[in-house]
């Protein structure tokens, strides 16, 4: 079972997550979403599991550049936008057994251990 971590190398939250994984002896594979953006089909599966709102990187420049129309977007609109610009995805995003298990890295320690270590 491989844990995939989707993010970008210079993201502070991704660095913190990777450090945590290494300290907890969790084997993972890092996927740079700038170099290898996820496909729309995969993003749709993630959205079905985690919800579109939790996956939005609302602090990024790409999100702010979208304008007011983003407030009326459907789930399908967001999936297309995520596929077009991976910087709109919150980072890091963790996938285990081909299923998204966690996005971001603000969960408490017990949730991190449950989702990422087992």
CA-to-CA dists, residue 104 to 58, 67, 68, angstroms? 12, 23, 24
Count the residues in the chain. 118
What's the structural domain count of the chain?
A: 1
Range of the domain at 13: 3-117
- Does residue 44 have a pLDDT over 90? yes
User: Where residue 68 sits, what CATH number does that domain have?
Assistant: 3.40.30.10
The 10s digit of each residue's pLDDT in 80-100 is: 999 999 999 999 999 998 899
Could you tell me the strand order of the sheet in which 28-32 lies? 28-32, 3-7, 93-96, 99-103
Quote the CA–CA distance of 118 and 115 in Å, as a whole number.
Answer: 7
Q: What is the pTM of this model?
A: 0.93
Residue 98: per-residue pLDDT:
86
């Amino acid at each position: 079972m491989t844990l995939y971590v989707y993010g970008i190398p210079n993201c502070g939250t991704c660095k913190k997550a990777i450090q945590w994984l290494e300290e907890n002896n969790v084997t993972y594979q890092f996927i740079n979403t700038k170099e290898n953006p996820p496909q729309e089909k995969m993003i749709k599966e993630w959205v079905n599991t985690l919800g579109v709102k939790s996956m939005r990187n609302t602090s990024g420049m790409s999100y702010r550049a979208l304008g007011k129309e983003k407030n009326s977007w459907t789930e399908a609109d967001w999936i297309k936008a995520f596929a077009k610009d991976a910087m709109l995805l919150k980072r890091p995003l963790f996938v285990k057994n081909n299923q998204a298990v966690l996005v971001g890295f603000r969960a408490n320690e017990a949730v991190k251990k449950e989702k990422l270590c087992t």
